[in-house]
Amino acid sequence: MSALFAAETTFDVPANVAFGILAVLMVVAAIRVVTTRNVVHAALWLVVVLGGNAVVYLILQAEFLAMTQLLVYIGAIVVLFLFGIMLTRAPLGESDDLDNSQRILGAVVGVLLLGVIGYAVARTWGTDRLDFAAYELPPRIEGVVSGSGNGRTQALANTIFSDYLIPFEVISVLLTGALVGAIVLARRD
């Protein structure tokens, strides 16, 4: 109790409460994505997971990533999924024909995977604290206007366009290639 009402104002308690609610919501939504018998509902539950991801990025103080997540995933990819559902004439109501006969095998693989990763995570539980109050920009990044409130986004831009310029250009070429490829594959002739 005394830790909860400690003298210094800290980001920790509200962030932890938000994270707890969000984590439960995201896990339930993710399980619904892979178990629901309605294809459209799966896409809508996916929106919950992706939006929760954006809020997790906000908790981790990655504002630009959170906005990108909202724009790209919820704005574009989910719409693409809904188009895919519509164009392949998926059954719009409930359907028992969405899963194959490997449910038990899939559950075993998933639980085993979670057990292995969860064991590793539990072994090191509590060794690394995220102290956001002390989080500072890496000192070698030049030209960041401090105190303007969006220094982290500026630093991110500086990192992309200095250290990761060539991967960035490669990603642009990849996106162009993928879009041209998608049009070539999907057009009717």
Partner 1 sequence: MLLNQFLLLAAVLFSVGVYGVIVRKNGVLVLMSVELILNAVNINLIAFSTFWGLSGQVFALFVIAVAAAEVGVGLAIVLLIYRNRRSVDIDRLDELKG
Site residues for partner 1, 58-117, by CB under 8 A, read: 59-62, 64-65, 68-69, 72-73, 76-77, 80-81, 83-85, 87-90, 97-100, 102-103, 105-107, 109-111, 113-114, 117
Q: Give the list of residues 6+ apart from residue 22 with CB closer than 8 angstroms, or none.
A: 52, 55, 56, 59
What's the CA gap between 12 and 20, in Å, rounded?
12
DSSP for 25-89, written as a single string: HHHHHHHHHHH-S-HHHHHHHHHHHHHHHHHHHHHTT-HHHHHHIIIIIIIIIHHHHHHHHHHTT
Residue 148 CB, nearest distance to partner 1 (Å)? 17
Inter-residue long-range contacts of 182-186, CB under 8 Å, 24+ positions, other chains counted: none
Minimum distance, C-beta of residue 143 to partner 1, in the bound complex (Å): 14
Q: Which range in 1-9, 143-151, 167-175 contacts partner 1 by CB under 8 A?
A: 167-175
C-beta of 6 vs 27, nearer to partner 1: 27
Interaction between residue 30 and partner 1 (CB under 8 A):
yes
Can you tell me which of 124, 145, 146, 148 binds partner 1, judged by CB under 8 A?
124
> Is residue 14 a contact residue for partner 1 (CB under 8 A)?
no
For 49, residues 6+ apart whose C-beta sits below 8 A from its C-beta are 26, 29, 30, 33
Stretch that binds partner 1, among 1-9, 142-150, 177-185 (CB under 8 A): 177-185
Per CB under 8 A, the list member of 6, 21, 92, 121 interacting with partner 1 is 121
Rounded Cα–Cα distance for residues 93 and 40 (Å): 8
Pick one of 67, 74, 144, 156: the residue that binds partner 1 (CB under 8 A). Answer: 156
Stretch that binds partner 1, among 1-9, 45-53, 143-151 (CB under 8 A): 45-53
State the DSSP H helix or E strand holding residue 20, giving kind and residue range, or none if neither: helix 12-35
| Smallest separation (angstroms) from partner 1 to the CB of 20 | 9
Residue 24 CB, nearest distance to partner 1 (Å)?
Answer: 10
Hey, what are 135's tokens? Answer: 């989080």
